[in-house]
Amino acid sequence: MRLEDKPRTLWIDAICIDQNSLSERSQQVAIMMKIYEKASRNLIYLGEDDGSAQAGLRAIRSVVSDMKSATGSLRMLRETLYDIETGASNYCVNGFDESVDFPALETLFDLPWFRRLWVVQEVVLGQSSLCHWGIYECPLIDVVCAARWINYKFRFMSRGLYGHIGFRCATEMHGFVDPDLGLGAKRRALAIMMGISQRFHKTDPKDSIYAILGLVHRDDRESNEEAALLRIDYSKSLADVLRDATCYALSQTNDLSVFRVLNHSHDQSECKSFTSWAVRADTLRHPKSLSLLSRLFHASQGLESPTRFLDTSKGPNILSYEGIDVDYVAELTETCEGYLWYKHEGYHPWLRSAKQLLDKSRYVLVEKDVSLAHQAMAFTLTAGEAYNRKRACRKDLLGLIEYIDSLTIRGDSPFGDKIGEQALLCYKAAMKKMYHVSLVTFCLQRRFFVTHGGLLGLGPCLMETGDRIVVLRGGDTPFILRQVDGLHKLLGAAYVYDIMDGEAVRDASVLVEGGKPEQIFHIR
């Protein structure tokens, strides 16, 4: 990084900040945003070249060439990658025209730099970013554009990249760094940034919040109380940092969108210092973990805007919201773990267990129409989304509905007692078609459940029989609550067929004449 003809001044955060001093870290981290914004250039040191750099950067150029060829030298890039009407990501059904060295790309994205949360702020706020890998150089914009293009053609990328954390982080950076698309503002709501934070590695768990504050949109009119929630202080406990950040996110959007990224993967009773409603931005959300539920729905439609308040008489950890208690969980499947979902031999029995619950549920007893029941199950398994990330219609789910029609409660394949090579080929073809045309990734890390009243849903992995399905003010989706010692724990968001557009609110309003159907839930 030295210049040949004159001295060069470099500011390096790991060296220029005393990492052992909490007070200095708190003070310096608060002004890092200004340092990056005023720097003339951002130099990225990826590491020494072990002989892989040339091949890795050549592979980047191949992908960029493929991207330029398919988009008229990038003139059509925006409408190629995104649905202009909804902003949802598009996905390609055609492979790469250029030969791509995927092993070389895996080596590139294996470099630790791509996984570090702190680098997001520097590449977003810096005027320009240049990667140094040994003696080789490459503009960062080329690297992140290549990652985004590979993600657009994900059906044709290597298995090694599919669940690769560094690659997913580089893809995430593209939304911030590429100025030509105009879809990724430099500063976003804290709720969005907390979800992004979960994708990256952090040395200090508190940096899951502090490292993203320079990219959070702040209102000049925010109160002193709100500003204090995000004041950088490394002496605070992690539980308090996450609680206060979640409070700020709730206040900033005046809805419950931040709860979309709640993903309790273990019993909260083991972490008594953490509230169940605080978003664990410090944890790592693996690329193969659960997909976030869509914001295409509005389950709380018909309720007033949230009247959120902290019940100070019960302490700062109690969050109170008004909402409707819809039903309770009667039966549910085991969690659809990755080892089940990624193998046909595992996912088929899981689907069969879900269909067994459906067959004996009140939904079937009430509807008395098997075809409608199978359609409801298909919508539930895809959380109501089509592959184009729009709201699904029956046409989008025909492949999955056909597969559900073929499921039996006996045998190991969807073809009953058929045996032999031909039956096996049919089985695999049906599974492939179902995976290819239906967005069943929403099943990952979730449980299929039926309620006492016959509702079908997908919910968090920690849910159990007896847990409550509630609709809270400001929620796009229903939520799963568990009553414990007179309070409630928030387990996460759920997709529940037939109540995603305010139906539960309307039904409750009809049942309660002349009064409000809502109650207050105190959540710890």
- Rounded average pLDDT over 68-97: 86
Query: Which pLDDT score, from 0 to 100, does residue 173 have?
Result: 92
pLDDT band at 180 (very low <50, low <70, confident <90, very high): low
User: How many Å separate Cα 487 from the centre of its chain?
Assistant: 28
Contact yes or no for 454/363 (Cβ under 8 A): yes
Query: In the predicted model, is pLDDT for residue 113 greater than 80?
Result: yes
> Residue 118: helix, strand or coil by DSSP?
helix
The pairing of beta strand 446-451 with beta strand 319-332: antiparallel
Phi-psi region at 396: left, alpha or beta (left = phi > 0; alpha = psi -120 to 50)? alpha
DSSP 168-235: HHHHHHHHHH-TTT--S-SSB-HHHHHHHHTTSB-SSTTHHHHTTGGGB---TT--HHHHHHT---TT
- The model's confidence at residue 221, banded by pLDDT at 50, 70 and 90, is confident
Q: Are strands 487-493 and 495-496 parallel, antiparallel or unpaired?
A: unpaired
Residue 512 near residue 304, CB atoms below 8 Å = no
C-alpha distances in Å from residue 225, one per residue of 24, 234, 464: 24, 19, 37
pLDDT at 201: 96
Residue tagged 């069969």 (tokens): 352
Q: How far is C-alpha 496 from the chain's CA centre?
A: 19
C-alpha distance from residue 79 to each of 180, 189, 390 (Å): 12, 24, 16
Q: Read off the pTM.
A: 0.88
Task: Mean pLDDT check: name the lowest of 198-202, 255-259, 342-346, 489-493.
Answer: 342-346
> Which residue, chain included where needed, has tokens 């009667």?
330
Distances (CA, A) of 311 to 237, 303, 508: 21, 21, 26
pLDDT at 431 > cutoff 70: no
DSSP annotation of 38: H
pLDDT tens by residue, 270-318: 567 899 999 999 998 876 677 889 889 999 999 988 876 555 667 789 9
Per-residue pLDDT at 241 exceeds 50: yes
The SS3 of residue 46 is: strand
Token pair belonging to 142:
């080329």
Question: Considering only CA atoms, which of 60, 120, 97, 492 is closest in space to residue 277?
Answer: 492
Question: 36-74 pLDDT, tens per residue?
Answer: 888 888 999 999 999 999 999 999 999 999 999 999 998
End-to-end CA distance of the chain: 51
User: Bigger pLDDT: 333 or 17?
Assistant: 333
* Residue-level length of the chain: 524
Residues 6+ apart with CB under 8 A from 341: 347, 350, 440, 441, 443, 444
Please tell me the predicted confidence (pLDDT) of residue 46: 96
3-state secondary structure (DSSP) of residue 250: helix
Q: What is the pLDDT of residues 322-370, one digit of tens each?
A: 999 999 999 999 999 877 777 767 788 899 899 999 988 887 766 668 8
> Could you give the CA distance from residue 247 to residue 225 in angstroms, rounded to a whole number?
11
Position 225 scores a pLDDT of 83
Secondary structure of 164-178 in HEC code, one letter for each residue: CHHHHHHHHHHHHHC
Q: Residue 93: pLDDT band by 50, 70, 90 thresholds?
A: confident
Determine contact, residues 373/364, Cβ cutoff 8 Å. Answer: yes
For 423-451, letters b (16+ CB in 10 Å) and e give beebbeebbeebbebbbbbbbbbbbbbbb
Which of 1-5, 59-63, 87-91, 399-403 bottoms out in mean pLDDT, i.e. has the lowest?
87-91
- List the structure tokens of 330: 């009667």
Please report which confidence band the pLDDT of residue 131 belongs to, taking 50, 70 and 90 as the band edges. very high
Average pLDDT for the chain:
86
pLDDT at 425: 55
